[in-house]
Structure 1
């Protein structure tokens, strides 16, 4: 492999110097609730369990969305006879994966991208294949894996137009990283084209793994109980909201409530620690709020119900026939509409900022599964129309199911691309 560009050599040198400061840095994050203090060693490459015997695949996804999209691949690789190590970098994803990973797979926190930590991590786990999800291009991970001769694959790869333009300014660096992947398996033809233009030598377009994700689970007893509590009230949910959106959502509630007696607005913030400030915001607007984390229920007197618990979006999507996807009325870029879409139980509404899921939202919009709005006024108008039109909601939910079915199959195509390497691992297994 050719010599590293100056930018990568500088990065390597700088991150090597950060090792001694890592314990203090991680402890500070733990005090803020961003690290699991009992597992901080994992963030420095110290494994908290032994390596199992036999071939091992290391899969990495940044957080909840990426790790969920990897679950179908995890299941296929486990059935193929591989041990699967899944790493993520957030507490929420770790908690979720502890519940959702199948036998034969296990979770560890990804090490910080410090050369010594990465070498320690790879020295313990000795993976036979590394699958990196979407755009998690950590230079030391890539370079150290290549140095050990471990095949690297970028799966469910995406490269937005915004990221593409940014990376063009560092073309030698991104080209050097992408060139070290055995293959980049992109979500779309547009993503594949951008990766090729940035220097990835081997690229395929196989579709979006998120369309093959299992539907979000929910306890049927909890669904029944929540449906009974809500009864016949008109209800909608603002899911994965960010600062600046909750104010708009409560304003929509105030606009619609006189026309829809008993209206219930559910807010599921992207970061549950914001629940208290959202409750205060609702109170300032003259609305009564209740918090799921306190065991409170969305009784008749509650206007805004704050779903501030982890792993229960599947429950709330099943009881709210209208879903506004957060992160789209502020320039966050939006969150995954496939999650409510696959359930086939809700109409989807979103704002203009969808750059994280451009192709997915475009597919839902094109097929009539989602409505795009420009601002809070448009959101109020769209939610109001849907609350008055059950037939429209049912048509949109059918369209969402159709879109998800039509665009599935990325897991199978990814496995086909991996087959030559997996076959060689089969041959080495006693």
Structure 2
């Protein structure tokens, strides 16, 4: 009954989903690309065994990099198909994997659309990243004989409580997965409590991401260009976060501190730039190609795919998504390049990684924006402490590697062996 109701809601909402896609396409043209794919439709590609990975947006797409590299080596005869739900996710996937992968939208979660998608691509295996639990998708995969794995899975206490209210419906959905591979023992325990019968723990794939040499070189070049100025990075900020942070930071920091601000979502770049200019601040936009001079107060990171470069540049990073109740953002990339981190009070989507980073001495939690400004001022004036945090960050990131190997072992049990042993 619950599944029928869920499908009916999707069916009734389909006209609104189409309208919303059209409206978003006015701001982000990528949403208007291949609308038929949202319904699972499109030409059938040439026959070839397919490994399919779904990553909803940017973070999950980037996290899949080490796993995709391992799959390409292990199964070179297979096509790699990557699906997304967002235009920014697709743009990121093309930038990272465009030399070897194919791309499609994941259809809206209607049974007939999912069946059309599976008939079109005929995947040998489906890998769904992190939190993407689509009931009709996994049911149709099971019916079609497509083994499907929830990989790098995470389940916060807040999400688990919401899912638990759905009772047997969630239990049935989780049982449709062929396997679940969780990031932490806590994630695995919550998934098991919801009814998942097969949950392994592999760690977080994001720890296995290698910072690209080109990004490290770019960040070092920026560092040389900035010279002796200290750089505070506001990384992956979300709506309603930039203004309170700037209100707290600007009076607390001397004018020679360059604030680099990189919003999480590209559709907000212009909005954030307008807010900065409305404050009478000097602004340089990364997209202009110009370099901030000594009078520039804010350097706006309005280009995609350069987070490792920004972390390499920065003396200290304040991680976005954690200053409003949004659950936080990934701090592992910052740690991987040795950038000290300050995070806000809201990190429920990354609880274990955050607590582990704090325990390791790589990160500090601030209670609010004013507290963050005080911590930032103290750290920017204390290079020895920053160096200790940078060393701790490197150690923390290296100590948690290995999730790719463990995840691949779970996938290999569902696929035939390859010649690359």
Q: Which category describes the TM-score, using the shorter chain as reference length?
A: over 0.9
What secondary structure is seen at the aligned counterpart in 1 of 2:272? helix
Q: CA deviation at 1:224?
A: 4.7
Q: CA deviation at 1:194?
A: 0.8
- Aligned counterpart, 2:223: 227
Mind listing any 5+ residue stretches in structure 2 that lack a counterpart? none
- Aligned counterpart, 1:128: 124
Q: CA deviation at 1:273?
A: 2.7
Change (3 A) 1:278 1:420: closer
Once the two structures are superposed, residues 18-73 of structure 1 have per-residue CA deviations (whole angstroms, 9 ceiling, x without a partner) of: 556665443233123264323222222134671452x2111111111111111211
1:222 and 1:47 mapped to 2: Cα distance? 39
* 2:6 corresponds to 1:11: yes
Mind listing any 5+ residue stretches in structure 1 that lack a counterpart? 1-5
Select 1:116's aligned residue among 93, 112, 117. Answer: 112
- Aligned counterpart, 2:308: 314
Normalised by the length of structure 1, the TM-score is: 0.91
* 2:26 corresponds to 1:31: yes
- Aligned counterpart, 1:409: 402
What secondary structure is seen at the aligned counterpart in 1 of 2:64? helix
Q: CA deviation at 1:265?
A: 0.6
**8 A contact 2:28–2:267 mirrored in 1:** no
1:222 and 1:96 mapped to 2: Cα distance? 18
The equivalences for 1:65-214 within 5 A come to 65-81=59-75, 82-101=78-97, 103-214=99-210
Structure 1 vs Structure 2 CA RMSD: 2.2
Once the two structures are superposed, residues 339-361 of structure 1 have per-residue CA deviations (whole angstroms, 9 ceiling, x without a partner) of: 111112x1101111001110010
What secondary structure is seen at the aligned counterpart in 1 of 2:388? helix
2:385 and 2:15 mapped to 1: Cα distance? 59
What secondary structure is seen at the aligned counterpart in 2 of 1:421? coil
- Aligned counterpart, 1:3: none
- Aligned counterpart, 1:334: 328
**8 A contact 1:56–1:127 mirrored in 2:** yes
Q: Bigger CA drift: 284-293 or 19-28?
A: 19-28
Q: Bigger CA drift: 161-170 or 26-35?
A: 26-35
Normalised by the length of structure 2, the TM-score is: 0.93
Once the two structures are superposed, residues 100-151 of structure 1 have per-residue CA deviations (whole angstroms, 9 ceiling, x without a partner) of: 1275432222112122221111101001111111110111111111111111
- Aligned counterpart, 2:345: 352
**8 A contact 1:330–1:353 mirrored in 2:** yes
**8 A contact 1:217–1:314 mirrored in 2:** no
Q: Bigger CA drift: 156-165 or 66-75?
A: 66-75
Higher relative contact order (CA 8 A, sep 6+): 2
- Aligned counterpart, 1:303: 297
Change (3 A) 1:51 1:341: farther
Select 2:387's aligned residue among 386, 394, 402. Answer: 394
